[in-house]
Homo-oligomer: A and B are copies of this chain.
Amino acid sequence: MSDNSVFSERGSKDVVETGLEFMPKFDADGLIPAIATDAVTGEVLMFAFMNREALAETINTRRAVYWSRSRSEIWRKGETSGNFQNVTEIRTDCDQDVIWIKVEMEGHDAACHVGYRSCFHRAIPDDGKAVPGLVLKRTEDAPSFDPDDVYGKKS
């Protein structure tokens, strides 16, 4: 897939920020950050990256596809776990260098590889201060699935 076959080339700052032509910016590694939120609750589920191919496939199939930086491969979310993300809306920001997708989850109704619904399942307490040893609180009582069952037991 050549660089210019799928998306418009970048325009001027004004065109990018206030125009209506989609011209996403990919960084030096060819990636764009992507935020996935729950279409119903608004909760942030996960943060990952897409390359051109992943973004194009997400747009065309309305299923979330990312780029796995750890595995260096296209990551069709749910292919292993069954936890597909059906995309209800795709937005971009003023600089067109971030993607926000709203999704409805299939499978375990969970996005996190550790088994929780959201990757953001821990919060800083309201009175927490920035000191070493700061203890987080859980925002979910328990994982939605056992990663060992879904991904295989860690050796």
- Interface positions of A (Cβ within 8 A of B): 4-9, 17-18, 20-22, 33, 35, 37, 41-44, 46-47, 55-57, 59-60, 89-95, 98, 100, 112-114, 116, 119-124, 126, 128-139
| Known contacts A20-B135, A35-B44: A6-B123 contact under CB 8 Å | no
Additional pairs, 19, CB under 8 Å, beyond known A20-B136, A22-B136, A90-B128: A7-B130, A8-B133, A20-B137, A21-B133, A35-B44, A37-B37, A44-B100, A47-B93, A59-B124, A59-B128, A60-B129, A91-B121, A91-B139, A92-B123, A92-B136, A93-B119, A93-B120, A94-B114, A94-B116
Inside 8 A of A9's CB, which chain B residues have their CB? 132
Closest Cβ–Cβ distance, residue A154 to chain B (whole Å): 9
Copies in the complex: 2
Whether the pair B89, A123 counts as a contact (CB closer than 8 A) is yes
Closest Cβ–Cβ distance, residue A67 to chain B (whole Å): 15
Inside 8 A of A41's CB, which chain B residues have their CB? 42
Inside 8 A of A92's CB, which chain B residues have their CB? 120, 122-124, 136
Across the interface, A4 reaches (CB within 8 A) one of B18, B123, B132, B134, namely B132
* Residue among A7, A44, A60 with the highest chain B CB neighbour number at 10 A: A44
Whether the pair A43, B46 counts as a contact (CB closer than 8 A) is no
